Amino acid sequence: MSSMRNAFLAVSLLVSGSQASAEAPKRPNFLVIVADDLGFSDLGAFGGEIATPNLDALALSGLRLTGFHTEAACAPTRSMLLTGNDSHSAGLGNMPESMQKNQQGKPGYEGYLRPDTATIGERMAAAGYRTLFVGKWHLGVAPKQDPHARGFQYSFAMLHCCHNHFGLGASDDPTKMPGYREDGRTVAKLPADFYSSDYFAAKLIEQLKSTKSSPEGRKPFFAWLAFTAPHAPLQAPPETIAKYRGRYDAGYEVLRLQRLQRQRELGILGPDVQPHRMVDVTPWAKLTPEQQRVSARKMEIFAAMVDRLDQAVGRVVAALKETGEWDNTIVIFVSDNGAEGRDPDKPPPGVDTSFEAMGSARSYINYGAGWAEAATAPSWRFKTFGSEGGIRTPAFVCGPAVRRHGAISGAYTHAADIAPTVLDLAHAPAQPGRFAGRTVAPIEGLSWTRLLRTGAPVYPANKAIGQELFGSRSLRQGDWKITDIGEHRWRLFNIAKDPGETHDLSAQYPARKAALLEEWGRYAKSVGVVLPDPPLQPTPPRDLE
């Protein structure tokens, strides 16, 4: 009798479970797209002139986030995106390549994603998703540190910070840059026609289609597409570069003004906002004709990289429509930090420095501070700085989670919010401080669910969010922010009124500044900030005084 009762209970549980499953809302698919060093205004939907029709269509159909913030460089931001933790809590208190002696061996400065974190890949796989990863990783090169070991069932990863976009110099030793792994196995050789954005999109499409046609195809997918464009070296196919010939001959000051005007027309920038002045940039008119020719070509190549990235996204969207999964897919798009304004210190050996070679696999260039500050306008500075130009990037969400199509939100949002937002929308609650029977760092970011549905703010006005990288620091609380760009001098700004960080209000509001400094001290202690010694930032810019 007991065995019959147990059998009846088992059947009842199966039936009730299947009924509950049938009645539960269909869980969405997720596609997270991460661009590398993309400036705030580089997309058309954010004020740019580069041809980005696919990304623009997605952004305009969803919710554009003009208050999205990251860390000031790639690996720390990626650690936050993937875990929901502060970069110091996740092990990336500094870039692996920039770790100072006084930071080495300190908690939070491991230079790879700590094992006591849980990635969104791990959490989504445990929640019944098929998990896919393609592109830049930069969070550890040991086999136990790569994406296949951190929850992504299918992966193709470029392990390091950067690479030749045409695939030259690939190493079969993943500890040497650049190294690649596919599903945990070292990739010894790339195809002859490799170009990063094209290949990464093709790989993700391959993963999406192969898993869709497999027994796992009934599961929703969680896909992470991490481009390495438009990170230096600036390289693009010649036919795409040709589209932009002559487009930037007027120089970076003109481009900056054009983008600011377009931002105002789009409603991204208020009519009374004062943009930050360009800092330590040689005026275009003072460059020689040859310097102008070279600089304009660099921007043409950069534009071609962004254009090619957009084309790659278009192919992924088309593939999802072909498999019938597009209508149930939520897309989250972000850049990992502000535009990169630094030129390479020293090109690698064997680089062709001729004008004719620029943009090819044989060249190694970046476009410099002038174009970067046009891209980050109206903000101050660019990548590596804790000012808005370094940590505010374009972002948007589209798909079935968004109820406010075509809207723009200036609410403060953060890279650490991606993981809790995805988990919330996937109906996959995370147990605080625990995952798969082990202790992990609790998620610190907040979900955007209410923002996507009603426009409600994500962060309460009294919530303090700190940031530090390379000794450049900031802290945000409501509309107020303190910023130290690495010169050990704090400035106070009201970001709601002054997003360009043009007016230091320290003298007018000393008590508020003191309170924010206390908050930053608490933040630094809680995550174990160790300021680099010696400092990593350059001589302070001529500015603001």
Catalytic residue set? 74, 138
Token reading at 285: 């008119």
Residue pair 30/223 in contact (Cβ under 8 Å)? The answer is yes
Q: How many H-runs (helices) and E-runs (strands) does the chain carry?
A: 14, 18
Residue pair 203/197 in contact (Cβ under 8 Å)? The answer is no
Neighbours of 233 (CB within 10 A): 24
482 strand-pairing partners: 475, 492
- List Cα–Cα distances, 123 to 10, 46, 311, 376, in angstroms: 28, 32, 30, 34
Residue for token digits 């796992």? Answer: 216
Q: At 5, is the secondary structure helix, strand, or coil?
A: helix
Residue pair 81/34 in contact (Cβ under 8 Å)? The answer is yes
- List Cα–Cα distances, 475 to 388, 468, 478, 517, in angstroms: 11, 9, 10, 8
224 strand-pairing partners: 32, 133
Residue pair 476/491 in contact (Cβ under 8 Å)? The answer is no
Token reading at 470: 């390379």
Strands 154-158 and 180-182: antiparallel
Cα 306 to Cα 52: distance, rounded to the nearest angstrom: 7
Pick the closest to residue 433 from 442, 420, 444 (CA basis): 442
Neighbours of 22 (CB within 10 A): 7
End-to-end C-alpha distance for the chain, whole angstroms: 88
Helix axes of 289-322 and 196-212: crossing angle, nearest 10 degrees:
10
What is the H or E stretch that residue 214 is in? none
What are φ and ψ of residue 104, in 5° steps? -60, 130
What is the H or E stretch that residue 414 is in? strand 413-414
Cα 183 to Cα 187: distance, rounded to the nearest angstrom: 10
When computed from its CA atoms, the radius of gyration of the chain, rounded to whole angstroms, is: 23
Pick the closest to residue 485 from 504, 510, 511 (CA basis): 504
